[in-house]
Amino acid sequence: MLTKPNLYLCSALSLASTLMLPSIVMAQDAAEKETQVQETHWTLSVGAAALVSPAYQGSDNYTLMAVPDLRLKYQNRFFASVNQGVGYNVVTRASGEDGWKIGPVAKLDFGRDEDGQGPFIVAGDTDDLQGMGEINEAVELGGFIDYQWQFLQTRLEVRQALGGHDGLIADFGVNYLNRIGDDGYFSVGPRLTWASKDYNQTYFGIDATQSANTGLAQYNAGSGITSYGLGAFAYKPLNDKVSFTTFASYDRLGDEAADSSFTKVRGTANQFTVGMGVSYAFDF
């Protein structure tokens, strides 16, 4: 069980991952194609990001957060970070080449805390979650299929949760990738998330107890599209160790999430996120 301070940190990072980082998973791969990097070692990236995003998925209140960003990878095989999870490219393409990446992945869903506050919130908070109860963290196990052809990249990732929401989740995205100047690059493209009834009911359903605590009408969510939208990401190295990133996204909740009395009364189906970050890379 995560302690309260760690849960706050993980919840902030998990929310950022849910709202705007799926595109970054694909965008980071563009560096291999655009810069023709030949990796033969471990790389640890340490940084921080500032972002403005909804206080929770479906919220109409926005918060300014400052969160750490840690990423570890080995060659073109192993990767680990909060947004990407922990995974391994069983099938991989050479740096700078088109082709497939296929492998297993494990992620953490850090749940939701009903007090809606945390030490990484710089400005803005909400009490909308009062009466909704806690959602426990979950381990999500699954796999991904990623294909890149010239300037286009597609990725499908499917995960089943153990504990927490107990649901099945599928993320799909398509990105257009290209250069910015000599050494930078950007990506932009649509993405979609589908989830099973267990996930949607956990995050957007209203049971009898929650209805009594909040005054919201009971609502039973089914399986379906949780959200769909557009994300953009840009990367610019400042030198051989330090890099700057900026990102923005718009997502709209699908019907199963948007039709919830929780979303209609206390939130909105329209979700915007914008942010920037700086990181330093260590090679060893």
pLDDT of 21 over the 80 cut: no
DSSP helix/strand/coil, 199 = helix
Q: What pLDDT digit, counting tens, does each position of 215-262 carry? A: 999 999 999 999 999 999 999 999 989 999 999 999 999 999 999 999
pLDDT score at 124: 80
CA angle 31, 143, 152 (to 5 degrees): 35
Average pLDDT, the chain: 87
pLDDT score at 28: 55
pLDDT score at 37: 47
pLDDT of 4 over the 50 cut: no
Q: Which two tokens stand for residue 67?
A: 């969160």
d(CA 206, CA 130) in angstroms, rounded, equals 13
pLDDT of 7 over the 50 cut: no
Q: What pLDDT digit, counting tens, does each position of 109-148 carry? A: 988 888 866 667 888 878 899 999 999 999 999 999 999 9
Average pLDDT over residues 194-214: 97
Best CA proximity match to 107, nearest among 74, 73, 79, 141: 141
Average pLDDT over residues 194-217: 97
User: What are the structural domain ranges in the chain?
Assistant: 4-283
pLDDT score at 3: 46
Average pLDDT over residues 88-102: 89
pLDDT of 39 over the 60 cut: no
4-283: CATH topology is Outer membrane phospholipase (ompla); Chain C (2.40.230)
Average pLDDT over residues 17-33: 51
Output phi, psi for 177, to 5 deg: -120, 140
Best CA proximity match to 83, nearest among 48, 105, 107: 107
Which residue has tokens 């030949």? Answer: 38
Are the beta carbons of 199 and 161 closer than 8 angstroms?
yes
Best CA proximity match to 36, nearest among 183, 210, 180, 177: 183
Give the number of C-alpha atoms closer than 13 A to the C-alpha of residue 212, restricted to the C-beta side. Answer: 3
Instruction: Give the rounded percent of residues in the chain with a pLDDT score beyond 90.
Output: 72
